[in-house]
Structure 1
């Protein structure tokens, strides 16, 4: 399954690992369905081994909806175009995503 994100700088097609990361994919699809990422800005570009673009907006205010991180099977985030949910530090993911730009 794939999702098309239309942006002002071009379109992004995101392939989803629905079997490996069912909760993350379901969460991402729900956020897309309610147009959560519409008008979100890229708020951080990190120049390092892994360049990341983060999309962020608080949909739920202080009561953000987090879900437990899925770790098995392990997926490497070294391929250009890999999209990942950002971990909040407590092994939970929310709505923030990063896109690997390193190749």
Structure 2
């Protein structure tokens, strides 16, 4: 399964690891469906390394999982899926941003 990410500088196709990361993909797909990512800024660009987006505030400190909208603030983040381990060996690999406690919300990096 894939998602088309439309930006002002071109489009990106994001391939999803639905079998390896089912909860993460569900979160990402549902946030896309409710247009959560529409007009989100790419607020962190590190040349030859990453771009980061997914924070509607554009600061890197905001964002929440779709589960927060369903279950309230206690579900703002969800536990990272760690098995099987997926390494960033290829350009274009997409990952959710870890909030520092092994949990994810809406932010992601490429």
Q: TM-score range by the shorter chain?
A: 0.7 to 0.9
Aligned 8 A contact 1:41 1:55 in 2: no
**C-alpha displacement at 1:78, in angstroms?**
2.7
- Once superposed, what is the RMSD of the aligned Cα atoms? 4.0
* Alignment deviations for residues 14-72 of structure 1 (CA, whole Å, 9 cap, x no partner): 00000000000000001000111111111011xxxxxxxx999x999977721100000
Using a 3 Å threshold, how does the CA distance of structure 1 residues 25 and 71 change in structure 2: closer, same or farther? same
SS at 1:55's partner residue? helix
Using a 3 Å threshold, how does the CA distance of structure 1 residues 87 and 10 change in structure 2: closer, same or farther? same
SS at 2:26's partner residue? helix
1:85 to 2:78 alignment: no
- Number of residues paired by the alignment? 88
SS at 1:14's partner residue? strand
TM-score, with structure 1 as normaliser: 0.74
Unaligned runs of 5+ in 2: 46-65
Moved over 2 A (4+): 58-64
2:24 matched to which residue of 1?
24
TM-score, with structure 2 as normaliser: 0.70
Using a 3 Å threshold, how does the CA distance of structure 1 residues 36 and 84 change in structure 2: closer, same or farther? same
